[in-house]
Structure 1
Amino acid sequence: MKLNLSSQIVLNKVPEQYYRPRTAVERSEMTRCEKLFTDIYPKVEEGAKVIADVVESEIKRAKAAGKKCVLALGTGLSLNPIYEELIHRHEAGLSFDNVVVFNAYEYFPLDKNCAQSAINQLRHRFLDHVDVKAENIHTPDGSIAQDDVFEHCRAYEQLIAAEGGIDIALLGIGRMGNIAANEPGSSLASQSRIILIDQTAREEMSNSFGTLDQVPPCSITMGIHTLLSAHKMFLTAWGEEKSEVVQKIVEGGITDTVPASFVQTHNDAKFVIDLAAASKLTRIVHPWLVTNCEWTDKTIRAAVVWLCQLVQKPILKLTNKDYNENGLSDLLALFGSAYNCNIKIFNDLQHTITGWPGGKPNADDTNRPERALPAQKRVIVFSPHPDDDVISMGGTIRRLVQQNHDVHIAYETSGNIAVGDEEVTRFMHFVNGFNQLFCDNKDEVIKKMYGDIKEFFAQKKPSDMDTPEVRTIKGLIRRGEARTACTYNGIPLDHVHFLDLPFYESGKIEKLPMGEADVNIVRELLQQVKPHQIYVAGDLADPHGTHRKCTDAVMAAIDLEKEAGAKWLDDCRIWMYRGAWAEWEIENIEMCVPMSPEELRGKRNCILKHSSQMESAPFLGNDERLFWQRAEDRNHATAELYHSLGLACYEAMEAFVRYIP
């Protein structure tokens, strides 16, 4: 069973030589904009194995010389694949008994034996599974008195020096380019010290602590100078949510506003990333600027759109001079003139626009994104949370229903952790009042549950996990909102499916691994409906990872059906939507559904049915806009982009990319 197919979605079908140059000369050409040695791999597992190879080799080299191998290790989630690979190698015989580990940072202040401490996370993810000796594990102490921190940091530096210095520093990067806990503003000369954690880093760390309020305000961290003193350095980043900061670290200048950029000064540092994290590097997104480009339909479209934005002209106004002066003379040679190229790309983009997302009956569908037949299609919209469907493609759903397609909505997770306690209190007041008014207060189950929940909330600490009963009620609240939204869109309630995939039900922000049980639930629904269209989340930049796991579950189920020779797949198309966290790049868009002002208002009304996700929702992130505002802004921006390129002017548009299994 393939559980990571989302990592293989390479929308541009990037030629291999762009991310895996064949010769040193080719690499020099491709990476001319890059200031840090960067290796790109199509799969996370490949990158993890490359790093593990070096770590294993260094451990064995040190052991052969009768020495210790000193590692500085971070605790970011991006390091998990490497730790998992090293654990596999330990199980296959690799010993870590000569390894010395220095934890790169620790939260401050902490209670003694805090379960969420960085060192406990490192133990849980790696150290408890290998044979590193207890006396060889060193960490800053987050529980010491504040007056002792300076001396403690000095002693930590001396301990590193006493072990002969760091052989390998292995670190992830934060969204602001922080390494370890070195925030923007950190000095190149900084050593181990206490530092205030900024808001963005706190939000990332909230995955470990359950709530933002529980994340300590400070960290004791190795400094930039301490980390750069390592003989070798590896930075890692996976997924498109890190693509912007990766571009700054690799291609930007050295600046304390992006602390990881200081790694450019190291003489043996390597950045290991996957293709999604590399998606904004010049050699991937604008390859024509660094090499003789392999021109495909999507690459040509990307180049022409880039040129339009550069010279601020619509497509049909581009001239030969525009192409020649901006490094796109190859396209003139390919098409003969700017006019011929302009017409092709204009028509390509025009053909992505359709008011018939399910296909237009009795119409020539040669240049339409969707086929005309069957005229009425069975459709499944998979929604990771109980509101992603309407946030991301609410206008398209309404179109599909109005055009008489048989629409099913499948909510993959309960979404219960994203409901505030006050929502439960409000609903329990209602249930208790109902019991008093209409049942003479005789329902003992309601009375007991009301009392138990009231007592639980009175004693609940911010770090406490909700009881199963509270999580169930929170899930019911979201189910009710989802049903109301579906009814508003004209979807029968027997077409609304709550899958409650098990991986989500950890009760914490950090979820369980997605596995066979999740895939089988999705597969059963596919076999039941046998859809002609599937819509699935392609918004893999979701900061909490739920979208990616849900998409992996759907793709794994489809893959199993394909292997089993399911006939329904022969007449099924799979469309990926975005909208909650990002939008598709225009060169990748294959279907774009326009909305009138009235239709956009209908989408907004539908999103507002999810009242628990308004102002008081726990996970709005650092974007102050509410979800309906984010969705409208993105839909407006897509429409404005099409208009700026010289196409029709719509109020808003929802974009889709086709996935071919």
Structure 2
Amino acid sequence: MKIQLGNKTINSLNINEFPFSHVCVVSPHPDDSAIGVGGLIYSLKSVDNVHISVFVATPGFRGVDHKLINENQVLIQNALYEWLGLKCENINDIQYLNKQLSNRLGEDFQYFGIPNQPVDQLINNILCTAIRYSEVVEEMKTLGLDPEKSLNFLALPRLYQGSIVPSEVVRFKKALSDFSNHENPNLLIIPHPADPQPVHQIVAEASLRALEPEKEWHIWYYQSPWYTIPPRDVDIVIALDEESMEAKKTAAEKHKSQTHRTPYADIVRSQVSLNADVLPEQLLGYGRKTLLLFGKYCEVYQIRLRSFYNPGKETSEINVYSKHPLPLNNKGE
């Protein structure tokens, strides 16, 4: 349904009309997919013929307190086996872990830390990465995805250190290529390049470098707690019902190593609530009757180079996807 509201054209679409069959969500840290895109992921889980994969770009170990290692020994053992195929009966056996992790991670092993960092500290960083792996697995289950099919835990250590190196870009490219579709357009969802978080910035750049030119890619930018997409740049609104909102919030809560420091579950709820409360008026005109025009909660996205990817489309068009009808027929006053 196309509705004209002020100088904006609103395309009100059911989520089942989502135009992409293959959706690649790039998560710089293991929790960014839940925080930024969790509502869309959960909303799409019931849409036929839509395949979603989450690509966790970096290990994220710096955000984990090393005290959590001793508190989560069984969890780490299970995660090491699922992530690296490594069976470890004692995570305090540094000699065993040094040999086994070196074999499995190859040259990556030395980059799980700063240059010349002692081996035991490198190993602790990898054990912290295992904690983050276990958390993103639980996140994906919460959002309705099968981690064995939909999780690409790349954990590229040099990218995490702020370097884009060819060997890691090649690995990133292969992961995207193996999942993406050769015949139909693919959707890549990445952090906004203006996001001030340094890892978000470099991962966004690496993601673009990893795209295959022979395939058709569409790129959306998502919000984070550190970057809000300006209303003038919003192209896509994903209206979230209570169920989707709770799934997004719960998925963020699965990252316990992070939420003990920063209340991300509360932040994501606040952000999508604020979007729903203020965006209609910001987008469609102040003083109009636009209350909850996009529902109680919504995620927003910006299309990269919208005029290039949508030739002939009005720059004032906004696509709103929802599971349920929205009060968009209220044209305000």
Q: What TM-score comes out, normalization by structure 2 length?
A: 0.70
> Pairwise mapping of residues 231-310 of structure 1 onto structure 2 (< 5 A)?
none
- Cα pair 1:354 1:594 within 8 Å, conserved: no
Alpha-carbon distance in structure 2 between the residues aligned to 1:534 and 1:577: 11
Q: Secondary structure at the match of 2:174?
A: helix
1:495 corresponds to which residue?
150
Preserved contact between residue 45 and residue 145 of structure 2 (Cα < 8 Å) = yes
Separation in 2 of the partners of 1:649 and 1:446?
Answer: 49
Q: Report SS of the residue matched to 1:592.
A: strand
CA contact (8 A) 1:382 1:534 kept: yes
Residue in 2 aligned with 1:523?
173
Say if 1:539 and 1:580, in contact at 8 Å, map to a contact too: no
What's the secondary structure of 2:226's corresponding residue?
coil
One-letter amino acid of the structure 2 residue matched with residue 421 of structure 1: H
Whether the 8 Å contact between 2:43 and 2:244 is mirrored in structure 1 is no
SS at match of 2:278: helix
2:142 is equivalent to residue 484 of structure 1: no
Counterparts of 2:167 and 2:304, CA distance in 1: 23
In the alignment of these two chains, the number of paired residues is: 260
Per the alignment, residue 84 of structure 2 pairs with: none
Separation in 2, partners of 1:444, 1:381: 34
Show the counterpart of 2:270.
633
Correspondence for 2:296: 651
For 2:52 and 2:75, the matched residues in 1 are separated by 33
Indicate the structure with greater strand content.
2
Distance in 2 between residues matched to 1:519 and 1:420, nearest whole Å: 29
Aligned residue in 2 for 1:322: none
* TM superposition shift of 1:467: 1.3
Do 2:162 and 2:199's aligned partners in 1 also have CA atoms closer than 8 Å?
no
Distance 2:231 2:153 in 1: 33
1:443-454 pair list within 5 angstroms? 446=91, 448-449=93-94
* Structure-1 separation of matches of 2:233 and 2:158: 30
Counterpart amino acid of residue 249 in structure 2: R
Q: Does 1:469 align with 2:123?
A: yes
CA shift at 1:480, angstroms? 0.5
Give yes or no for contact 1:540–1:548 (8 Å, CA) kept in 2.
yes
Structure 1 position 445, deviation (Å): 5.0
Kept in 1: contact 2:76–2:130 (CA 8 A)? no
Query: Which AA in structure 1 matches 2:7?
Result: I
Counterpart-to-counterpart distance in 1, 2:134 and 2:123: 17
Indicate yes or no: 2:239 matched with 1:591. no
8 Å contact from structure 2 (residues 75, 134) kept in 1: no
Q: Which amino acid aligns with 1:472?
A: I
Higher RCO structure, 1 or 2 (CA under 8 Å, sep 6+): 2
Contact 2:191/2:224, CA 8 A, preserved across alignment: no
Q: Which whole-Å CA distance do the structure 1 matches of 2:75 and 2:149 have between them?
A: 27
Q: Is the 8 A contact 1:354 1:593 kept in 2?
A: no
Q: 2:38 aligns with which of 394, 400, 420?
A: 394
CA distance in 2, matches of 1:410, 1:592: 22
> Cα–Cα, structure 1 residues 504 and 555, in superposed 2: closer, same or farther, change >3 Å?
closer
Q: 1:497 to 1:451 in 2, by over 3 A?
A: closer
**One-letter code aligned to 1:515:** V
Distance 1:408 1:431 in 2: 23
- Please list the CA deviations of residues 551-573 of structure 1 after superposition, one character each: whole Å capped at 9, or x if unmatched: 11111122xx22xxx1x31xx32
SS of equivalent to 2:7: helix
- Counterpart amino acid of residue 494 in structure 1: K
Match of 2:199 in 1: 546
Q: Distance in 1 between matches of 2:32 and 2:202?
A: 14
Matches within 5 A, 1:294-333: none
- 1:427 pairs, out of 72, 75, 84, with 72
Question: What is the alpha-carbon distance in structure 2 between the residues aligned to residue 578 and residue 539 of structure 1?
Answer: 10
Residues 451 and 420 (structure 1), Cα distance of their counterparts in 2 relative to 1, 3 Å cut: farther
- Name the residue aligned to 1:403: 47
Residues 1:576 and 1:354: Cα distance change in structure 2 (over 3 Å): farther
Is contact 2:253-2:264 (8 Å) kept? no
User: What is the CA-CA distance between 1:541 and the residue it aligns to?
Assistant: 2.6
CA RMSD of aligned residues (A): 2.9
Q: TM (normalized to structure 1)?
A: 0.37
Partner of 2:247: 602
SS in 1 for 2:145: coil
Does residue 556 (structure 1) correspond to residue 209 (structure 2)? The answer is yes
List alignment gaps of at least 5 residues for structure 1: 1-341, 361-369, 433-442, 454-463, 506-510, 621-625
Structure 2 counterparts to residues 91-130 of structure 1, below 5 A: none
Shift of 1:643: 3.9
Counterpart CA distance in 2 for 1:593 and 1:469 is 41
Q: Is the 8 A contact 1:388 1:580 kept in 2?
A: no
Structure 2 CA distance, aligned partners of 1:452 and 1:498?
20
User: 2:239 touches 2:294 (CA, 8 Å); kept in 1?
Assistant: no
Describe the superposition over 1:63-98 as per-residue Cα deviations: whole angstroms up to 9, x where unpaired.
xxxxxxxxxxxxxxxxxxxxxxxxxxxxxxxxxxxx
1:467 aligned counterpart, secondary structure: helix
Q: Is the 8 A contact 2:159 2:203 kept in 1?
A: no
**One-letter identity of the residue aligned with 1:542:** P
Which amino acid in structure 2 is aligned with residue 636 of structure 1? S
In the alignment, which residue of structure 2 is the partner of 1:192? Answer: none
Q: CA deviation at 1:524?
A: 0.7
User: Is 1:380 equivalent to 2:24 in the alignment?
Assistant: yes
Identity %: 18
Q: Structure 1 residues 418 and 345, CA, compared in 2 at 3 Å: closer, same or farther?
A: same
Task: Determine if contact 1:539/1:581 at 8 Å carries over to the other structure.
Answer: no
- Deviation by residue 1:7-40 (Cα, 9 ceiling, x = unmatched): xxxxxxxxxxxxxxxxxxxxxxxxxxxxxxxxxx
For 1:642, which of 279, 283, 295 is the aligned residue? Answer: 279
1:614 counterpart (259, 264, 270): 259
Say if 1:597 and 1:450 are closer, same or farther in 2 by CA, change over 3 A. farther
Query: Which letter does structure 1 place at the counterpart of 2:152?
Result: H
Q: Paired residue for 2:7, among 341, 345, 362?
A: 345
Structure 2 residues not aligned, in runs of 5+: 78-87, 99-116, 309-333
2:75, 2:131 within 8 Å by CA — same for their partners in 1? no
Structure 1 residue 518, shift from structure 2 partner: 2.5
Distance 2:132 2:195 in 1: 23
Alpha-carbon distance, 1:489 to partner:
1.6
Larger Rg: 1
Query: SS at 1:497's partner residue?
Result: strand
Change (3 A) 1:452 1:583: same
